[in-house]
Amino acid sequence: MAVPYKLPTSTFFTVNTLGLALALWGLKTELNNPLPPQLQEAGHYQFLTDLALIVTVLSIVSNYLIMIPEIGEDFFTVQLTAILNATALVFESLISSIYWTLRAIDPTLLFPDNEEERIILSTALDLTIHLFPVLFLSSEFFLNRSTRFPLKYQTVIAAISFFLIVYWVILESVVKDPYPYPYEFLNVDPITRAFVFVFIASLGFTYYLAFEFFHSVIETAPADGKKKDE
């Protein structure tokens, strides 16, 4: 099984090391960032952003396995890195698109009306946890990866569902009355909240299908261009 990356190993190592360093800085800084009183009881792991960033860190770490000749082309290694990278890419895309869209259209769907109850993020931290991961992972996928993720759709659906179920369980275990959920759009009745999770899962799988499609377009474009020139 061929290694699915275009960059030389030394360049691939450098790019991943820089990405890992920035992701770890963002995660460490975010976990040490003070929370408003109503969110302190549940802690930082009530945020999907923080959990997805952990998966992003794991996905970057898994890329180092690809560089090891003895195991880099092993089926298990390829599948593990693919699952972690695909899951990270899907959820960082969800987080970035939902966060920036709601922030632009109606910030009260994310944050409380009362500014004193809002989380204060520096611009650097905000961009690092809500924008950098999707830019890094998508550029890695579209520009550096020579093949699509070698995953069956059932595996992708299972990974997305598993991650959201884990997040749901964490939420229900740490968020207790009278404290609110971390995102305003989750402060609804349980049935509506369940539909929100189903919508997010469906949107995530749609993103995955779109990523596969555009990756195929990018990979076949040079070949089509050569044929026309010939």
Distance, in Å, from the CA atom of 57 to the CA atom of 24, rounded to the nearest integer, reads 7
**Where are the extended beta strands (E) located within 4-141?**
none
Quick one: which of 210, 211, 12, 204 has its CA closest to 92?
A: 204
Distance, in Å, from the CA atom of 26 to the CA atom of 53, rounded to the nearest integer, reads 8
Mean pLDDT, the chain, whole residue set: 91
Instruction: With a cut of 60, say whether residue 2 has pLDDT above it.
Output: no
Distance, in Å, from the CA atom of 88 to the CA atom of 36, rounded to the nearest integer, reads 27
Structure pTM? 0.91
What's the sign of the alpha-carbon dihedral 158, 159, 162, 167?
Answer: negative
Distance, in Å, from the CA atom of 230 to the CA atom of 225, rounded to the nearest integer, reads 9
Question: Each residue of 23-57: b (16+ CB within 10 Å) or e?
Answer: beebbeebeeeebeeebeebebbbbbbbbbbebbb
pLDDT of residue 114: 80
Nearest 5°: phi and psi at 145?
Answer: -80, 125
Residues 6 or more apart whose Cβ sits within 8 Å of residue 142? 211, 214, 215, 218
pLDDT of residue 223: 52
Asked if residue 174 lies in contact with residue 43, where contact means CB atoms within 8 angstroms, the answer is yes
Phi-psi region of 202 (alpha: psi -120 to 50; beta: other; left: phi over 0): alpha
**Where are the extended beta strands (E) located within the chain?**
none
Instruction: With a cut of 80, say whether residue 115 has pLDDT above it.
Output: no
**pLDDT, tens digit (0-9, with 9 covering 90-100), for 71-93:** 878 888 889 999 999 999 999 99
**pLDDT, tens digit (0-9, with 9 covering 90-100), for 116-162:** 788 999 999 999 999 999 999 999 999 999 889 999 999 999 999 99
In what helix (H) or strand (E) does residue 136 lie, and over which residues does it extend? helix 132-139
Distance of CA 94 to the CA centre of its chain: 7
**What letter represents residue 127's amino acid?**
L
Q: Where are the domains of the chain?
A: 9-229
